[in-house]
Amino acid sequence: MTEKSKKHVDACRFCWMCRHICPIGNATGLERNTSRARALGLSLVNRGVYKLEDVVDNLYECACCGACTKECVTGYDPVLFTREARLEAAMEGVLPAYINRLVEHCLETGNAYGITELDDGLRKAVAAHVQKTDTLLFLGVDARYKVPAAAVNAIRVLEKAGVDFTVLMEEPASGWQLEYLIGAASETREQMTACAGQLNAYKKIVAFDPQDAVVFKREYRELDVGLTAAAVTFTSFLSDLVQTGALAAENSGKEVVYQDPFQLARDLGETEAARTVINAFAVCREMLLHGRDTMWAGNLLMREWMPEVMEKVAAGRIRDAEGVGADTIVTASVSEYASLKAAKQEKVKIFSLEELVLGQGNES
């Protein structure tokens, strides 16, 4: 653990100013699911009172959403020490079995789910775009293997705008899942470097998944992974298409609220692009905790080991929408879309940005 992380682990204590903002702590109501409790456990590990394996499960009860980091008035960074402690756990060989299984899948198949085959419909949609162009639409593992309909819709949206683009039948792993699971380990860097090597054949990479956008635009630079292609978010790419008129829009006048993915709003500081797209097709209202203050709505990866908590996290976000009288949430993260759609409720409809653009109905 770096000196900076050790300092944050020791200094983060009892102020609780970030307690209310943690989506997982809010969902479970457990004190252990706060950054303060995680820091306390790690400081006891650093002092030799606990072993790392005593607190390792707790390291995986954090989404690394950065809400606490943003809220911390003293500038401490719970995401940093959590990631470093995960790397340490991997290096010491004390990862929980349920995490080891996902890491092995990432190394063997490029995705934590261990899926190797594409859905037939997606395979067909991709087949129409395998020819090399300057622009690569990078779908990401969640869309490709867990929500293929979202991947097909991303392709349809770019087709609707007349974009000349490529989609890879065999897409390399960006490395975000490995980075989340074991931090900046050599295996993570190797996966990222191999991915950059393939992506550099293109001028522009449009990252459909905000999580991929963050690693392409931030982590690759920080880890000195040589990505020379220009990476842009799918939302900013769509916003440009709307503003140039390439993506024709007819406004339905329907009022919706937008679920900011923390990866876009906090990690990349992008809050307006999706709103520009939404306001071209509907009317964007705001719910509690939006923009950089956004509250995460759950994801597919953590559902692998915390399914009940993910349901509660999504339910909490749906309540936030209901709280402002909204009946429709629009998402820009395939993982949050899946998480919100899985919630057992009928009051609030969940739309992806692509569904809004394509004018598709919502069966939820």
Binding of residue 41 to ligand SF4 (CB under 6 A): no
63, 112, 287, 326: residue in contact with ligand SF4 (rule CB under 6 A): 63
CB nearer ligand SF4, residue 18 or residue 192? 18
CB of 266 to ligand SF4, least distance (A): 10
How far CA 259 is from CA of 170, 232, 303, in Å, comes to: 30, 19, 19
41, 66, 110, 140: residue in contact with ligand SF4 (rule CB under 6 A): 66
CB nearer ligand SF4, residue 58 or residue 193? 58
In this structure, the strands spanning 204-207 and 230-233 are: parallel
CB of 73 to ligand SF4, least distance (A): 6
Binding of residue 74 to ligand SF4 (CB under 6 A): yes
CA 265, distance to chain mean position in Å, is: 11
**Cα distance between residue 205 and residue 298, in whole Å:** 26
Instruction: Count the neighbouring beta carbons within 10 Å of the beta carbon of residue 141.
Output: 26
* HSE of 168, CA atoms in CB hemisphere, 13 A: 19
Bin 154: left if φ > 0, else alpha if -120 < ψ < 50, else beta: alpha
Q: Under a CB-based contact definition with an 8 Å cutoff, are residues 338 and 302 in contact?
A: no
CB nearer ligand SF4, residue 17 or residue 30? 17
Binding of residue 67 to ligand SF4 (CB under 6 A): yes
52, 56, 79, 330: residue in contact with ligand SF4 (rule CB under 6 A): 79
Size of the site for ligand SF4 (CB under 6 A): 25
Structure tokens at 338: 């899946």
CB of 294 to ligand SF4, least distance (A): 11
Q: 255 - beta bridge partners?
A: 283
CB nearer ligand SF4, residue 239 or residue 333? 333
**Cα distance between residue 357 and residue 104, in whole Å:** 37
**Cα distance between residue 1 and residue 304, in whole Å:** 27
Binding of residue 40 to ligand SF4 (CB under 6 A): no
CB nearer ligand SF4, residue 287 or residue 306? 306
Residue range at the interface with ligand SF4 (CB under 6 A); choices 15-23, 147-155, 208-216, 249-257: 15-23
Q: Under a CB-based contact definition with an 8 Å cutoff, are residues 246 and 161 in contact?
A: yes
CB of 220 to ligand SF4, least distance (A): 21
Binding of residue 76 to ligand SF4 (CB under 6 A): yes
Name the residue type at position 147: V
Binding of residue 314 to ligand SF4 (CB under 6 A): no
Binding of residue 169 to ligand SF4 (CB under 6 A): no
56, 62, 106, 321: residue in contact with ligand SF4 (rule CB under 6 A): 62
Residue positions counted in the chain:
364
Q: Under a CB-based contact definition with an 8 Å cutoff, are residues 39 and 78 in contact?
A: yes
Contact residues for ligand SF4, defined by CB under 6 A: 12, 15-18, 21-25, 35-36, 62-68, 71-72, 74, 76, 78-79
